[in-house]
Every structure is written in C-alpha cells, then in structure tokens.
C-alpha cells in the first residue's frame, strides 16, 4: 500500500473511531457530519472521499463500537471465552460503563436509535446480538441448548437495559442499586 493510501486509511479509521465514540455519547441524530469531521481534525468536504453517505459512516461506526469490546479485552490479555458470567457482568454492568457511554456497548447507548436506523446498521446490530447471545449461552447453565440460550438472551437484555436505566436515573443510590441487582442476577446464570 502506498503512502497516500495508508494515510487515507488512517484518516478513515480516525473518522470512524471519532464517530463511534460520539454517536454512543450523543445518539445517532445527536451529532452531524460537519461536527464529526471537525472533531476528527478534517473539513466536511473530505467526508465524501471516505463515505458514500452518512448511513455508511453510521454503519461503520456501529461496527467499530461492537468490535471495541474485543479489542479492549485483547489489549488487556483477556480471552473472552475464558470469562465467567460473573466476569462479564462485572465489566459490563459497572459504574465505569454507566458513566462512559462513548466507550461502552452500543446496545446500552443506542438501542432505540439503531432500531430506527438503516438496514446496514440494523444488520450489524443483529450480528452483534447473535454473537453476544452465543457467548453468554456458552457460560450459562442449563439442561439443553434452548434453556441456555434463553438465559443468555435474558441476561444480555438485562445488562443492556440495566446500564441504560442506571444512566437514566438522577438518583445515584437507585442507579447503583440497578447496577448491583442486574450484575448479581447475571453472575448467577452459570449456576
């Protein structure tokens, strides 16, 4: 790859990473292309050198957000397959995750936005759901695959919803109680 192509790729990645963080913080309609490009240190005119449309950027940013969990664990030397349900719950249903939506799960930050977005973003989210359900099902106890999958779906819905509800609450004690309750419930799906 030539120098200019490498620079273009790095610029593209910087735009996607900026968008991924900011969209989780402000919502899919909370920030425009001009603001994203400015934050990435670029002009709005350069946007179409990298993306055919805003929907394409949103889809890539959402994919990047889903991939960030794995990148973060890998950087810490953690193998997700070796994590217990309690390990997952401790990381996901946490004060850090609640207080830092830009670095967290797009489901906890953007579920309703993604449900109203384009087909590309919804397909990426659907793949994310399937991967999360499969991963949690592998950690769940149950007599058969169906019961483990049901536990996984309930646990993931509780985690994403719990973090979202904890963010909504203006009462700090209630917010912490929501996190603790969900974390304790999910930690027990392997029993």
CATH of the domain at 82: 1.10.357.10
The Cα–Cα gap between 6 and 10 comes to: 6
Q: Name the phi and psi angles at 93, rounded to 5.
A: -95, 70
Average pLDDT, the chain: 95
Q: Which domain holds residue 169?
A: 3-187
| pTM given for the model | 0.91
For residue range 78-106, list pLDDT tens digits in order: 999 999 999 999 999 999 999 999 999 99
Query: Is the pLDDT score of 185 beyond 90?
Result: yes
* Inter-residue contact 37 to 31 (CB < 8 Å): no
Residue 4 has a pLDDT of: 85
* Inter-residue contact 129 to 63 (CB < 8 Å): no
Q: How many domains does the chain have?
A: 1
């Amino acid at each position: 790859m030539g120098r200019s192509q490498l620079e273009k790729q790095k610029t593209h990645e910087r735009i996607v990473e900026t968008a991924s963080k900011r969209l989780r913080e402000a919502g899919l309609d909370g920030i425009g292309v001009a603001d994203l490009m400015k934050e990435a240190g670029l002009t709005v005119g350069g946007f179409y050198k990298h993306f055919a449309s805003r929907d394409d950027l949103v889809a890539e940013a959402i994919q990047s957000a889903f991939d960030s969990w794995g990148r973060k664990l890998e950087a810490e030397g953690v193998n997700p397959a070796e994590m217990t349900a309690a390990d997952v719950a401790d990381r996901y249903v946490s004060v850090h995750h609640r207080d830092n939506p830009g670095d967290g799960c797009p489901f906890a930050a953007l579920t309703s936005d993604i449900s109203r977005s384009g087909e590309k973003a919804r397909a990426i989210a659907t793949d994310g759901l399937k991967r999360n359900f499969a991963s949690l099902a592998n950690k769940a106890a149950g007599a058969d695959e169906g019961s483990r999958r049901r536990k996984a779906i309930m646990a993931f819905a509780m985690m994403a919803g719990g973090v979202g509800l904890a963010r909504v609450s203006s009462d700090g004690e209630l917010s912490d109680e929501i996190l603790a309750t969900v974390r304790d419930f999910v930690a027990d799906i392997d029993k």
